[in-house]
Structure 1
């Protein structure tokens, strides 16, 4: 067997190759994180027997993703190594040396003496899901921030407007109005028929002429600041929100298509939709990484904090929240949906509430149960059968 170790960096990676006897086949060499660099890497690897070749990379951040996709696309066998293993291997050396070239050789040695996990087609798919779902979460956060900004702008220029729309500015009727007439003076000056038509069309008949009269009256009595610059900010913020909404719709379609192709058993759990399922699968990756469900629970940050000293042992503790935020969010959300769609989970949730737990505390317990079920389903590749 020939082992290839690649030390990943942001701009320049380093690779080295050794055989089963530890003899260096290809001396450590650098290659850039671009087309020419990848071409150089492939030319070096092409001189070796692909069927007898194993490439190892440390489990790092996103910097390794393009290398993984490239090498997998070329048909090479890949293995992911825990950085803790290479760190332990480094300590076995007499001299304390850490360079990119040394690290690439250390990865080769780690492959030779330690256990590792080969990258599969399923890993590639879940890695793509993870990237898509994290991008979706970032878009949702950006949208939430923009909505807060929009509310603050409207509070300055037309403070009573949100009460006309029943304390919710973020509906299509309000957006369509503010995109064209963002100040109370503009709205007050509008002909009643035109204002009524705007509201009726945007709300699909929910608002009519009587509502238009009320809005005109509200605009005339507004004490908001007259500032054209804020009006510009309002229209621009709405445009940004609508752009993100269209991006989210497009992104969610791609995620749902990817979930259809993956055809995971997690979709047999009643209450877990494609988006929630994608977040869970993307963050978990290969279920074989976890030896039991408690490890998966800890990775999600749903495990309880241990508070013990001497004879004291706390009976009630909070969840650690030290794992993947997205996985934790998806599991809590899924736990509620599953409890609404499955009698077994509903009874379990109700029993925790009956014991005096709050809604969110009961959901945490339900999420624990769901994690154990998901671990079993994915590990054994069986469909959900609880009733």
Structure 2
């Protein structure tokens, strides 16, 4: 019976793996039709999942709007003349986007691309003794600001499709 249960579990894992690969392929095919695909795929650790979570970058009026949407912007704690200097992130945005961003930051930490500005920034924060969550969130914030700037700039130079 144990042998049969283990075989069933292996079959289910293999089936799940095939399904995930099929979905990943479909996501990549769909994302490759977007105009910003070529510039976004130049980022390290990025896949179509991040593009899907962010959506159309042009709907954000500025980079702060994108970081707020992701919930990796610093929160605010002010009252009268009091303003707290160190506050936790707002977490008011998309939790799925935050999870995807942390996966991207994790790839950067593991691959250590020395030429990547986001990795350099996170590594500097890490060597300053910042806690894990602090430097990962700060890295995600910096990444989104760079992502927003590059994609907006790229889309602005594309010829108008109409």
TM-score normalised per structure 2? 0.77
1:317 is paired with a residue whose SS is coil
Q: Distance in 1 between matches of 2:92 and 2:70?
A: 7
Matches within 5 A, 1:114-153: none
1:306 pairs with 2:76: yes
SS at match of 2:87: coil
Q: CA deviation at 1:306?
A: 1.0
**C-alpha distance in 2, partners of 1:253/1:328?**
23
Structure showing greater radius of gyration is 1
Asked if 2 retains the 8 angstrom alpha-carbon contact of 1:305 and 1:318, the reply is yes
Structure 1: runs of 5 or more not aligned: 1-176, 183-201, 203-234, 383-387
In 1: Cα distance, 2:136 partner to 2:150 partner: 20
Could you say if the C-alpha distance between residues 178 and 297 of structure 1 is closer, same or farther in structure 2, counting changes exceeding 3 Å? farther
Cα pair 1:304 1:317 within 8 Å, conserved: yes
The reply to whether residue 292 of structure 1 matches residue 66 of structure 2 is no
Listed as ranges, the matches of 1:296-375 within 5 Å are 296-338=66-108, 340-343=112-115, 344-375=117-148
Match of 1:248 in 2: 20
Report the equivalent of 2:158. none
Instruction: Specify the alignment match of 1:259 in structure 2.
Output: 31
Structure-2 separation of matches of 1:296 and 1:242: 37
Report if aligned partners of 1:279, 1:326 keep a CA contact under 8 Å in 2.
no
Q: For residues 23-45 of structure 1, what are the alpha-carbon distances to aligned partners after superposition, in whole Å with 9 as ceiling and x for unaligned?
A: xxxxxxxxxxxxxxxxxxxxxxx
Matches within 5 A, 1:151-300: 178-180=2-4, 235=8, 240-262=12-34, 263-272=37-46, 274=47, 278-300=48-70
Higher relative contact order, chain-length normalized (CA < 8 Å, sep 6+)? 2
SS of structure 2 residue aligned to 1:360: helix
Structure 1 pair 259–347 and aligned structure 2 pair: CA distance change class (3 A) = same
Change (3 A) 1:314 1:320: same
Q: What SS is found at the alignment partner of 1:264? A: helix
Residue 378 of structure 1 is matched in structure 2 by 151
* 1:95-139 C-alpha deviation (Å, 9 max, x unpaired): xxxxxxxxxxxxxxxxxxxxxxxxxxxxxxxxxxxxxxxxxxxxx
Deviation at 1:250, TM superposition (A): 1.4
Structure 1 residue 313: Cα displacement: 2.3
**Corresponding residue SS for 2:41:** helix
* Equivalenced residues, count: 150
In 2, are the aligned partners of 1:270 and 1:342 still within 8 Å (CA)? Answer: no
Structure (1 or 2) with the greater strand fraction:
1
The 1:347/1:285 distance shift into structure 2, 3 A limit, reads closer
* Shift in Å, 1:181: 5.8
Q: After the TM superposition, which of the residue ranges 326-335 and 364-373 deviates more from structure 2?
A: 326-335
Where 1:341 maps in the other structure, the secondary structure is coil
